Each structure stands twice: as C-alpha cells, then as structure tokens.
Structure 1
Amino acid sequence: MNAKNACAMILGVVFCLLFIIVVIPHFASWPVTPPQAVSAGEALWNGRTYEVVLQGFIMLAGVMSILLLLGLKHFRRSPP
C-alpha cells in the first residue's frame, strides 16, 4: 500500500466516523424537547459546532486531493 492509498484510507475512515458522530445524536434524542428562548447569536451557533468541523474536514479533503493530483504529475515526468 503506497502513501496515496494510505492517506485516502485514513481520510475516508475519519470522514465516516465524523459523519456518524454528527448524525447519530440527532436520531438518539427522543422525544424532542422544545427549544428554549436564548439570544440570537447563541441560537445560531449553539448546535453548529460539528457542522463547521465537518465542512472544514470536507474542504481539507478537497485540498489534499488537489495536492495529491498535482504531486502525481510531478512524479510522472521522466528526467531528460
């Protein structure tokens, strides 16, 4: 297994675990409690921590894939 496959496997497993951690608690909370009155700023960011982490991880995976594709072209060139 080369470094590219290992990196893809690790990123895939971390993404799946993060997705499960974000999704499972929403289904486990039953019955649903009514929302309490809080300030607008707190209400906007209170439950969005994992969403922000997930979006950051998706962007990081995109950057890593672009870097891996650019690095692949570098290794394909044969010396003159």
Structure 2
Amino acid sequence: MMKFVIGYFIIQIVLLIVILLITNKTDKKSHRKYYRPNEVPEGYVKTSESFIDTKTKNVIVVYYNKTTGKRIYVEQ
C-alpha cells in the first residue's frame, strides 16, 4: 500500500512539472522582446502610449506602423 501512495505522489509531481513546462513554453508574455531605441524598423511611429515593465522597471514606449497595423514595444 505504501508503494502505491509513493507512486501516486511521484506521478502527481511529474505531471505538475510537465504542466509548468508546457505553460512556460506557450506563454507569449514571458518571451516578449523589447526593441532598443536604435533598432526601431522603418515605418514605425512613436505613439503617446508608454508603460513601466514590471519585471525590469524600465519605461516601454509603443511604436505603431500605420501600413501594417503592427505595434512594437521599445525599451527606453
């Protein structure tokens, strides 16, 4: 009976680790890359939007491309 209980807990721990790894791989915000001010591609215009990144405490400014509608985030 004790082997069954230990086996059950080991399976639960392995399952938790697998779920955490999958979540980390699929989470888009955890892999967000901010551009540097000198890396802004052509066609992007600085907007009035800005925010403070909670991880790095840096100010992030939003740039917008009118032709494609894409937004990029530039670290100041």
Task: Give the TM-score taking structure 2 as reference length.
Answer: 0.37
**Greater strand fraction, Structure 1 or Structure 2:** 2
Could you say which structure has the greater relative contact order, defined with CA pairs below 8 angstroms and 6 or more residues apart?
1
Which structure shows the higher helix fraction?
A: 1
Bigger radius of gyration: 2
